[in-house]
Structure 1
Amino acid sequence: MKIIDWYILKRYLVTFLFTLLILIPIAIAIDVSEKIDNFLEHTNLGLEEILNDYYKNFIIYYANTFMPLALFIAVILFTSKLSNNTEIIAITNAKVSFTRFLYPYFIGATLVTIISLGMNHFVVPNSSKVRRGFEKKYINNARQKNDLKFISDFSLQLTDSTYIYIRNYNIETNAGYNFTSETYDGLELKSKLSSDNLRYNSKDSTFSLTNWRKRLIYKDRDSIFSGNKIDTVFNFTPRDLIYKSALSQEMPSDELIRFIDLSKKRGVKNLNAYLVELHKRTSLPIASYILTIIAVALAFRKRRGGTGVNLAIGIGIMFLYVFFMKIGEVLGSVAGVNSFLYVWIPNIMFGIISVYLYWNARK
């Protein structure tokens, strides 16, 4: 690398970190103002627990979330400054092409992308688990806690022939009621096990059924058995009942992939909310390259109005990117659609824009 490359790379990373360090305190200040009442309600909640369990993980989550925005703004800011100081004119007069000029930018984008990929796939999910646990305990109101606590009208296909249904289940007590397990041979019902109450025993991974009834169906007759209590084993755990997209945000990618594979084998129909989360963890870091090209192409030439005009255009583009990203996530979560395509649509769209701006800047 030449001196000019080190100079640009250093400015790239320093401005990026500076922008990120500006955005994070703003996010913390807003969050503190919203949640200060929740903190004060709990007399047993100390400052150390707030900082350690909540705000440390809050910073990890939002630092990762703000990375593309901070990178985009940073590139526009310092490239506009290079342009306004006529440093770019000196570089182009030295017969340095626009493609060669992008070299240190791409090194910086690669560093940011690698860090973001590691955080997205492994660090942030583990961090989110601790942060959400704190929120459930101290911040969520009674209605939110109940929504997280109870699972209602849940059905699941355990194997090709076995299905279960639970009317209501309490995640905290590991108990539920109105449980049914049905086994089929093709379209014919072969057996049905039901109980008024169900309880999971975490020690030996068994389920206790009370007031149970079992019906075995044969060609010419049925056999019915019943009892007060029976312990049995099923191919699921209470964790499988929490079919919510929030759960996917707390799983490292290797665990999330295993969960998706297992759910597919069990016949869960709509896993797109989980697939969207998995694909997003890669698509957002890769956007660093696209946003870097757009930012450099916008700020490469000196404009009337200087940095302010470039920054306004850049923020507008960033707003559109976030807007399309959110739309892609919502549409990608709908059953029956290609979640991968919808998650990557913003990158495809803005990738085309970046190619156009790149060729235009080369001229």
Structure 2
Amino acid sequence: MKIIDRYILKRYLVTFVFTLLILIPIAMAIDISEKIDNFLEHPDLGFYQIVDEYYRNFIIYYANTFMPLALFIAVILFTSKLSNNTEIIAITNAKVSFTRFLYPYFVGATLVTLISLGMNHFVVPNSSKIRKNFEKEFIKSSSQKNKAKYVTDFSLQLTDSTYIFIRRYNTMTNSGYDFTSELYDGLKLKSKLVADNIKYNVKDSIFGLTNWRKRVIYKSHDSIFSGSKIDTVFNFTPKDLIYKSALAQEMPSDELLKFINISRKRGVKNLNAYLVEFHKRTSLPFASYILTIIAVALAYRKRRGGTGVNLAIGIGIMFLYVFLMKIAEVLGAVAGVDSLLYVWIPNIFFGCVAIYLYFYARK
């Protein structure tokens, strides 16, 4: 790597970190102003606990979220400065092509991409779990807590032949009522277990059924059994009852992929919300390359208005990217669509923009 490459790479990374360090305090200040009343409502909540359990994980989450924006702004800022100081003119006069000029930028984008991939797939999910638990305990209202802890009218296919149904389940107390388990042989019902109440014992990983009744169907007759209480084992846990995108954000990618595969075998029809979260963890980091090309191409040539015009155009493109990404996530979570394609649509679209600007800048 030549001296000019090290110079550009150093400016790339330093400006990126500096931009990120500006955005994070702004986000924290806005969040503190919104949640200060919630903190003061709990006299037993100490400053250290707030910093350790909430804001430490808040910084991890938003540092990862702001990475593409910080990278984009950083590249525009210092590349515009190189252009305004006629440093790029000196580089081009030395017969350095635009493609060769991009080399240190791509080295920096690769470093950012690798860091973002590691954070997206492993660090941020574990961090989000701690932060969300803190929010549930100290920030969310009672009505929000009650709404989140109940699962109603839930059905699940455990195996090719076993199905369960629960009328209402409380995920906080691990108990519910109106439980049904049915076993089929093809389309023929073989047995049916019904219980008024069901409770999960976390320690022993067993379910306790009260006021249960079981009907076993034979060729010539049916047998009915009943009792007041019985302990049994099922191939699911209360965690499997909560199908929502917020849960996916708290799972490391290996756990999330395992969860998706198990759920698919159990016959869960729409897992696209989980697939969107899984694919997004890869698509967003790779956007670093696309955004780097766009930013360099915009700021490569000196223009009237200087850095301010480049920055305004860049921020406009960045918000358009975020807007398109959010639309793609919503559409990708709809049942029956290819979630992988929808998640990558923003990168495909802006990748085409980056290719056009690349060839334009080469001229």
**Normalised by the size of structure 1, how large is the TM-score?**
0.99
Equivalent residue letter for 2:301: R
CA distance in 2, matches of 1:235, 1:261: 14
CA distance in 2, matches of 1:275, 1:185: 31
Q: Does 1:138 align with 2:138?
A: yes
Deviation at 1:220, TM superposition (A): 3.6
Deviation at 1:219, TM superposition (A): 3.2
Task: Tell me the equivalent position of 2:70.
Answer: 70
Equivalent residue letter for 1:148: A
Task: Tell me the equivalent position of 1:41.
Answer: 41
Superposition misfits of 4+ residues, deviation over 6 angstroms: none
Equivalent residue letter for 1:285: P
SS of corresponding position for 1:95? coil
Task: Tell me the equivalent position of 1:54.
Answer: 54
Instruction: Give the gaps of 5 or more residues in structure 1.
Output: none
CA distance in 2, matches of 1:56, 1:115: 18
CA distance in 2, matches of 1:241, 1:160: 18
Between 292-301 and 261-270, report the one with greater CA deviation. 261-270
Post-superposition CA distance 1:305-343 (Å, at most 9, x none): 111110110011001100110011101111111000000
Q: Does 1:240 align with 2:240?
A: yes
Deviation at 1:38, TM superposition (A): 0.1
Equivalent residue letter for 2:121: H
Deviation at 1:218, TM superposition (A): 2.6
Deviation at 1:226, TM superposition (A): 1.1
CA distance in 2, matches of 1:262, 1:15: 44
Between 209-218 and 95-104, report the one with greater CA deviation. 209-218
Post-superposition CA distance 1:29-68 (Å, at most 9, x none): 0000000000000000000000000000000000000000
Equivalent residue letter for 2:247: L
Equivalent residue letter for 2:83: S
Superposition RMSD on alpha carbons, in Å?
Answer: 0.7
Q: Does 1:20 align with 2:20?
A: yes
Deviation at 1:274, TM superposition (A): 0.6
The within-5 A match list for 1:206-221 is 206-221=206-221
SS of corresponding position for 1:200? strand
Task: Tell me the equivalent position of 1:255.
Answer: 255
Task: Tell me the equivalent position of 1:328.
Answer: 328
The within-5 A match list for 1:198-209 is 198-209=198-209
Equivalent residue letter for 1:51: V
Instruction: Give the gaps of 5 or more residues in structure 2.
Output: none
Equivalent residue letter for 2:40: L
Deviation at 1:139, TM superposition (A): 0.2
Deviation at 1:20, TM superposition (A): 0.4
SS of corresponding position for 1:122? helix
Task: Tell me the equivalent position of 1:286.
Answer: 286
Post-superposition CA distance 1:257-292 (Å, at most 9, x none): 111111111111111111100000000000000000
Task: Tell me the equivalent position of 2:191.
Answer: 191
Task: Tell me the equivalent position of 1:178.
Answer: 178
SS of corresponding position for 1:302? coil
CA distance in 1, matches of 2:163, 2:203: 24
The within-5 A match list for 1:214-363 is 214-363=214-363
CA distance in 2, matches of 1:157, 1:67: 40
Deviation at 1:141, TM superposition (A): 0.6
CA distance in 2, matches of 1:226, 1:247: 37
Deviation at 1:221, TM superposition (A): 2.6
**Normalised by the size of structure 2, how large is the TM-score?**
0.99
Between the aligned residues of both structures, percent identity stands at 81
SS of corresponding position for 1:264? helix
